């Protein structure tokens, strides 16, 4: 398998896992729990910003294989 293709799939899986975790945290805290914990809601909102920040960082970082 091509290493660049493997790296791209790892990034996609990482981003999907982060967004799913953040979505679960937000939905659970706002729908299921009677008194939502603001720290968990804040953590969920912060996690939603992680994938775009990581993609932006990877965009500006020089690639060692090129």
Mean pLDDT of 33-47: 95
Q: Is residue 22 part of a domain?
A: yes
| Domain assignment present for 8 | no
Flag whether pLDDT at 63 surpasses 60: yes
How far apart are the C-alpha atoms of 61 and 26, rounded to whole Å? 31
**Does residue 65 contact residue 3 with C-beta atoms inside 8 Å?**
yes
Structural domain including 50 reads 15-60
Looking at residues 32-42, what average pLDDT do you find?
94
For residue 42, is it within any domain?
yes
Q: What is the pLDDT of residue 36?
A: 93
Look up the pTM and report it.
0.84
């Amino acid at each position: 398998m091509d290493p660049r293709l493997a790296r791209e799939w790892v990034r996609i899986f990482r981003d999907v896992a982060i967004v799913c975790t953040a979505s679960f945290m937000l939905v659970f805290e706002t729908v299921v729990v009677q008194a939502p914990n603001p720290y968990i809601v804040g953590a969920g909102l912060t996690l939603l910003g992680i994938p775009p920040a990581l993609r932006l960082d990877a965009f500006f970082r020089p690639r060692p294989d090129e």
